[in-house]
């Protein structure tokens, strides 16, 4: 009996110990430390406390504000488009009559498997001035588009690339969720004469709401941290038009080695994620 108690009391801690130790050293400690650093500045190589100075500087920093704006534009346009496409694809693929389901599923998911750097390189080569996209556009008579060198089109390029990469990923999540919706709901709706489109908006979307919220929050977090794509695809250009907060943080920290200020930027991302997640929770909660 005593052995039993010992087991129940001590064993679980042994099982979680490695995770907790690694997590504390490489996650909790850095999170705390970067919070402290966000109030510090480097004076002659020494970090010294300077109160809210970094935060004040941030909100008067035109480049940061531009990066913030860019990130929000991408967020507001890309995430809804991507999630909607993913939802449509999931519903189409879920259709019971369909053959080769597995093949389609794998094809759509494959982009999500590749490295962000690799796919960004492919896209930047396709989107160059004399690249594939423009040749096709000229061939069908539209003419070429300055994809990577025009402020507007550079953002479009980023959005296109990100959508290509992440639609399949979200689609698989939605597919999983669709399997939990009872067929009875659709049958009842069919009997009542509801069209497929009507069923999609009145049954599928409401039933999937928690999952849609989940993917929306994940995508928001991902977009606020956006780094690899603009770093490779547009290098933040032209003239900082695709600079994201994540990229600005990297530049500040590892090109100018201004660790204090970079930590402040990191904490602004933390706060933004918290606020946006909270809003998304609220919005989806109130409609229930």
Q: Which parts of 54-113 interact with other proteins (CB under 8 A)?
A: 89, 92-93, 95, 97-98, 103-111, 113
Q: Using CB under 8 A, which residues numbered 24 to 43 contact other proteins?
A: 26-31, 33-34, 37
Query: Residue 222: which of 197, 252, 244 has the closest Cα?
Result: 244
Q: Which stretch binds other proteins (CB under 8 A): 60-68, 119-127, 187-195, 198-206?
A: 119-127
* Least Cβ distance, residue 49 to other proteins (angstroms): 16
- Residue 150 Cβ, how far from other proteins at the closest point, in Å? 19
Separation CA 28–CA 98 (nearest Å): 47
**What tokens appear for 281 in the block?**
């929770």
Residue with Cβ nearer other proteins (58 or 246): 246
Q: Report in angstroms the alpha-carbon separations of 248 from 23, 30, 32.
A: 27, 19, 21
Percent of residues in the chain assigned helix, strand, coil, to nearest 5: 75, 5, 20
Name the one range near other proteins by CB under 8 A: 49-57, 76-84, 118-126, 143-151: 118-126
| Residue 179 sits in the site that holds other proteins (CB under 8 A) | yes
Q: Which stretch binds other proteins (CB under 8 A): 19-27, 50-58, 66-74, 279-287?
A: 19-27
Q: State yes or no: residue 48 binds other proteins (CB under 8 A).
A: no
Residue 62 Cβ, how far from other proteins at the closest point, in Å? Answer: 21
**Beta-bridge partners for 47:** 42
Q: Mask of contacts with other proteins, 226-255, x by CB under 8 A?
A: -xx--xx-------------x--xx--xx-
Q: Does 259 bind other proteins (CB under 8 A)?
A: yes
3-state secondary structure of 41: strand
Q: CB neighbours of 71 closer than 8 A, spacing ≥ 6?
A: 223, 224, 226, 244, 245, 246
Q: Which of 257, 261, 129, 277 is nearest to 245 (CA)?
A: 261
- CB-nearer residue toward other proteins: 153 or 265: 265
């Amino acid at each position: 009996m005593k052995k039993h108690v010992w087991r129940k009391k001590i064993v679980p801690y042994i099982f979680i110990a490695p995770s907790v130790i690694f997590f504390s050293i490489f996650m909790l400690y850095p999170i705390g430390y970067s919070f402290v650093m966000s109030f510090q500045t480097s004076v002659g190589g020494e970090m010294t406390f300077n109160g809210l100075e970094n935060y004040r500087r941030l909100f008067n920093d035109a480049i940061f504000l531009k990066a913030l704006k860019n990130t929000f534009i991408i967020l507001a346009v890309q995430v809804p488009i991507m999630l909607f496409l993913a939802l449509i694809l999931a519903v189409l693929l879920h259709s019971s009559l369909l053959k080769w389901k597995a093949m389609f599923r794998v094809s759509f998911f494959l982009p999500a498997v590749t490295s962000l750097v690799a796919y960004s390189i492919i896209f930047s080569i396709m989107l160059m001035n004399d690249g594939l996209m423009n040749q096709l556009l000229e061939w069908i008579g539209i003419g070429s588009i300055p994809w990577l060198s025009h402020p507007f089109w550079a953002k479009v390029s980023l959005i296109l690339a990100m959508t290509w990469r992440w639609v399949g990923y979200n689609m698989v999540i939605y597919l999983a969720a669709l399997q939990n919706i009872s067929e009875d709901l659709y049958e009842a709706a069919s009997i009542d004469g509801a069209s497929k489109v009507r069923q999609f908006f009145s049954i599928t979307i409401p039933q999937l709401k928690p999952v849609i919220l989940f993917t929306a929050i994940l995508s928001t977090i991902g977009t606020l941290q956006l780094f690899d794509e603009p770093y490779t695809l547009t290098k933040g250009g032209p003239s900082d038009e695709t600079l994201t907060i994540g990229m600005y943080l990297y530049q500040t920290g590892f090109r100018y080695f201004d660790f204090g200020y970079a930590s402040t930027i990191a904490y602004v991302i933390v706060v933004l994620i918290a606020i946006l997640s909270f809003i998304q929770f609220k919005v989806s909660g109130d409609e229930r």
